[in-house]
Amino acid sequence: MVSPNTPEASGGASASAAPRSIKDVVIRLAGNSQDGIQAIGGFLARLAGRSDQDVMTYMTIPSTISGGPSIFQVRMGTGDILSAGDRADMLVAFYQHSYDAHIGSLRPGGVLLYDADHVKPVEGDNRFTNVACPITTGTIEAVGGTAKDKGKNIYVLGLIARIFDLEVAKLTQLIRERFGGKNEDIVRNALLAFDAGYAWPQNNLRDLFYRFEAIDRATAVSGRPQVTLDGNSAIAYGFLAAGVRHGAGYPITPWSSIMETLRTELPKYGGVFVQCEDEIASISTALGFSYTGNVAITGSAGPGLSLKMEALSWATMAEMPIVVVNVQRGGPSTGMPTNVEQSDLMQAIYGSHGDTPRVVLAPKNVEDCFYLAIEAVRIARAYSTPVLLLTDQALSSRIEAFDEPDLKALMVPPGPDRTERPADFKPYPLDRQTRHAPAGTRIASGKYPVVTGLEHDEFGHPTGSPKLHAQMNAKRREKIKALAATLPAPELSGDASGEALIVTWGSNYGPAREALERIRAAGVSAAHLHIRHVHPLPHGLEEVLARYRKVVVAELNDEGVYGFGQFATLLRARYALPSIVSTCKTDGLTFKVSELVAGVARHLGNATLEGLVSQARPSPLASR
């Protein structure tokens, strides 16, 4: 169908003065969750992806199941978008409570766009460019009928498209894709709302007209288009690419969407995902799958991981491959289930009973969720070991754009290797890597192996021999050390030596990279080291850490009884460097760039840097 009121005809964007060029913008949408705020964010994210722009989003989910305050923050622009942005350049406030709660997040000179039907801004506050738009009545007038104010979100999308000179054709196409196939009325209403927002009289918007800098993709072309997705989806698709066709799980926020995606997708691939009665049954079923030669996955958040620990110990002892995802959230206990935290690191590495050397990987962003999921499965298979994939709530729901993966090159064929094993087959050889013969495999000797959690000899027979226990402990340890020797050097950016080294793991990657840029711009020699292979650590780090006066480990957990975060504690134990210090926080939110700069400034005792933090940085949208 044809949009009845085309933006061109309305004389919106094109009639105005030339747009001002900006590099990126942070837009915070604040309303209630039923307003479809996330849909606006989703449209903007997908649009940015299709436009070869970089995009990152940030979303809070109210802990109430439906309704209630909700925000979606999207940062879009040219070049690498590393974090969702400390503060907003534009705040769209749907209600008074949205305004009250979020006006503090707007940078000076930023744009406050509010629904004049619901919001009364504080009088005389002239820090921002205020735009009063009757969003509710505008939507009702445009759509009318029984839809009431449904479609406010799309109306706002139209406004934003007008202000940032976004590609209308691509946006309307996205709207059609999103709503099409349902009811043509829905598409029609959405387009009506969009056009009305876009055509809202431009003189009301004054000189608010911007355009993102043209990008130079020539330097980093993969030749593949951009895709836009969240971290949990990226993990699920990573598993599919890695040849995982089996899994089991029990629902818990923020892990559930991984199991929902796999339950829905796996049958297409001939696979099975089982919803179990609890997390213990889930890891047990997954181990059962792995035992048949189908390397399987399970996952949960912290509370469920606690339940899996006994079986994880078994997996180490029995040398059974498995990948376990932990989408970390605020703990302990039920804690802050919809907030981010990185407080399960020690649990991931050491949470089981006995000596259980195992592998822990932590993705740095959404794209990395995809690639590390593949890497986790590869390592589990190659070393016949449990691997934990430690992600977090922020990555789980954040939407980012990245180059579409080269699936053809990445796909790993699934399926057990049931070729007959020779007569000298041993399930637990001391001089070689364990390679289990999956159930169903003929063994030429006619002697069939037992996989076991008891200490055992090379054939899997139980043993009480202290010598064998020591030998087998060494075997299980040495294979993890052998993996460490193969790991690539972690990404180091900035100065090769100097005052400060920021060390991060997991989703702190982006804010730390941005913090580094600011610190170096202030004349301080510094670098950032980001670690994806958290355990075992790659070789050669002692030499890197030694080159900086302070090694500031930034992580989202408590500083603990001794004043160090969990990763910092490990690094201190491993490298015994007094220069290793901590910057920790547990407010349930990702690091702001300014918080990281402040942390480094404090440890360096650098007043210039501290001054930099307190300086309010005006928004690029500020009128000149």
Residues 285-304 that bind another protein (CB under 8 A): 285-294, 296
Q: Which is nearer to another protein, 413 or 605 (CB)?
A: 413
Q: Which is nearer to another protein, 444 or 470 (CB)?
A: 444
Residue 400 backbone zone (phi > 0: left; psi -120 to 50: alpha; other: beta): beta
- Rounded CA gap, 65 and 258, in Å? 19
Residue 369 makes contact with another protein by CB under 8 A: no
Give yes or no for a cis peptide into 332 (omega within 30° of 0).
yes
Residue type, 614: S
- SS3 assignment, position 534: strand
Give the one residue of 53, 57, 172, 282 binding another protein; rule: CB under 8 A: 282
Give yes or no for a cis peptide into 449 (omega within 30° of 0).
no
Report the run of H or E that residue 49 belongs to, with start and end: helix 37-50
- Rounded CA gap, 2 and 306, in Å? 55
- Rounded CA gap, 331 and 343, in Å? 7
Give the one residue of 76, 93, 229, 609 binding another protein; rule: CB under 8 A: 229
Q: Which is nearer to another protein, 227 or 348 (CB)?
A: 227
Residue 223 backbone zone (phi > 0: left; psi -120 to 50: alpha; other: beta): left
Query: Is the distance from CB of 247 to CB of 297 less than 8 angstroms?
Result: yes
> Within positions 445 to 474, which residues make up the interface with another protein, using CB under 8 A?
445-454, 457-459, 461-463
Which residue, chain included where needed, has tokens 């404090």? 602
> Within positions 35 to 94, which residues make up the interface with another protein, using CB under 8 A?
49-50
* Least CB distance to another protein at residue 427 (A): 10
> Within positions 413 to 432, which residues make up the interface with another protein, using CB under 8 A?
414, 416, 423-426
* Least CB distance to another protein at residue 281 (A): 4
Give the one residue of 129, 256, 257, 284 binding another protein; rule: CB under 8 A: 284
Look at the alpha carbons of 150, 151, 152, 153 in this order and tell me if their dihedral is positive or negative: positive
108's tokens: 């000076």
* Least CB distance to another protein at residue 463 (A): 8
Residue type, 259: M
* Least CB distance to another protein at residue 450 (A): 5
Query: Is the distance from CB of 37 to CB of 72 less than 8 angstroms?
Result: yes
**Gyration radius from the chain CA atoms:** 27
Q: Which is nearer to another protein, 445 or 486 (CB)?
A: 445
Give the one residue of 175, 318, 377, 541 binding another protein; rule: CB under 8 A: 318
* Least CB distance to another protein at residue 370 (A): 10
Q: Which is nearer to another protein, 197 or 243 (CB)?
A: 243
Report the run of H or E that residue 155 belongs to, with start and end: helix 152-163
* Least CB distance to another protein at residue 318 (A): 7
- Rounded CA gap, 430 and 476, in Å? 10
Give the one residue of 82, 240, 379, 472 binding another protein; rule: CB under 8 A: 240
Q: Which is nearer to another protein, 244 or 531 (CB)?
A: 244
12's tokens: 């919106």
Whose CA is closest to 215, among 357, 51, 64?
Answer: 51
* Least CB distance to another protein at residue 233 (A): 8
Whose CA is closest to 344, among 355, 332, 336?
Answer: 332
Q: How far is CA 322 from CA 306, 315, 389, 410, in A?
A: 16, 8, 11, 20
Which range, of 133-141, 219-227, 327-335, 375-383, touches another protein by CB under 8 A?
219-227
* Least CB distance to another protein at residue 267 (A): 4
> Within positions 241 to 280, which residues make up the interface with another protein, using CB under 8 A?
241, 246, 248, 265, 267-272, 274, 276-278, 280
* Least CB distance to another protein at residue 465 (A): 9
Whose CA is closest to 12, among 216, 289, 217, 198?
Answer: 198
Give the one residue of 443, 484, 577, 589 binding another protein; rule: CB under 8 A: 443
> Within positions 180 to 209, which residues make up the interface with another protein, using CB under 8 A?
none
The residue count for binding another protein (CB under 8 A) is: 77
Give the one residue of 100, 165, 185, 310 binding another protein; rule: CB under 8 A: 310
Q: Which is nearer to another protein, 41 or 69 (CB)?
A: 41
Q: Which is nearer to another protein, 432 or 447 (CB)?
A: 447
